A and B are shown apart, each in its own frame.
Chain A
Amino acid sequence: MSAVGYAAVVGQIVVVGAGAPLLTGWMRQVRARLEGRAGAGVLQPWRDARKLLRKEPITPVGTGPAFRVAPALLVATTVVTAGLVPLLSTDTPVSTHADLIVVVALIALGTLALALAGLDSGTAFGGMGASREMTVAALVEPTILLSVFALSIPSGTTNLPAIVDGAVDEPARLASPAGLLATAALAVAVLAETGRIPVDNPSTHLELTMIHEAMVLEYAGPDLALVELGSQMRLTLLLGLLSSLFVPWGIATDVSWAALAVALVLFAAKVAVLGAVLAAAEVFCAKVRLFRVPELLAGSFLLALLAVTASYFLSGAS
Chain B
Amino acid sequence: MSNGLYTQLLDLACGAFLLAAVIVLWQRELAAIVRVFGLQGIALAAIAVLLGAHEERWDLVAVGIGIGVLRAGVLPYLIRRALAALTAAEPAEAPRRITGRQRAHSEEVRETQPLINITASLLTAALLTLLAYAAARPLTELNPTPATRALPVGLAVVLIGFFVLVTRRRALAQVVGFLLLDNGITATAFLATSGVPLIVELGVSFDVLLAVLVLQILTTRMREAFGTTDIDDLRELHD
Q: Are B8 and A181 in contact (CB under 8 A)?
A: no
Instruction: Output the nearest chain B residue to A177 by Cβ-Cβ distance.
Output: B15
Instruction: Pick the contact of A306: B11, B12, B22, B144 (CB < 8 A).
Output: B22
Kindly specify which of A87-95, A195-203, A275-283, A307-315 makes contact with the partner chain. A307-315
A302 at the interface (CB under 8 A from B): yes
B63 at the interface (CB under 8 A from A): no
Contact A302-B16, Cβ < 8 Å, known A177-B11, A309-B129, A309-B133: no
A316 at the interface (CB under 8 A from B): yes
Main secondary structure of the interface of A (DSSP, over half): helix
Q: Are A309 and B144 in contact (CB under 8 A)?
A: no
A119 at the interface (CB under 8 A from B): no
Count of A-B contacts judged by CB separation below 8 Å: 72
A294 at the interface (CB under 8 A from B): yes
B1-59: which have CB < 8 Å to A? 8, 11-12, 14-16, 18-19, 22, 26
Contact A177-B14, Cβ < 8 Å, known A294-B119, A316-B144: yes
Contact A313-B118, Cβ < 8 Å, known A177-B15, A302-B126: no
Residues of chain B within 8 A of A178, CB atoms compared = 15
Q: Are A177 and B16 in contact (CB under 8 A)?
A: yes
Task: Indicate the size class of the contact surface on chain B.
Answer: 20 to 34
Residues of chain B within 8 A of A177, CB atoms compared = 11-12, 14-16, 19
Contact A305-B126, Cβ < 8 Å, known A175-B8, A298-B119, A313-B133: yes
Instruction: Pick the contact of A310: B11, B26, B146 (CB < 8 A).
Output: B11
Q: Are A295 and B122 in contact (CB under 8 A)?
A: yes
Contact A172-B8, Cβ < 8 Å, known A177-B14, A302-B123, A313-B149: yes
Q: Are A306 and B152 in contact (CB under 8 A)?
A: no
Q: Are A306 and B149 in contact (CB under 8 A)?
A: no
Complex interface bits, A163-197 against B, C-beta within 8 A gives 1, otherwise 0? 00000000010011110110000000000000000
B171 at the interface (CB under 8 A from A): no
Q: Are A309 and B130 in contact (CB under 8 A)?
A: yes
Task: Give Cα A179 to B68, complex, Å.
Answer: 26
Q: Are B122 and A306 in contact (CB under 8 A)?
A: no
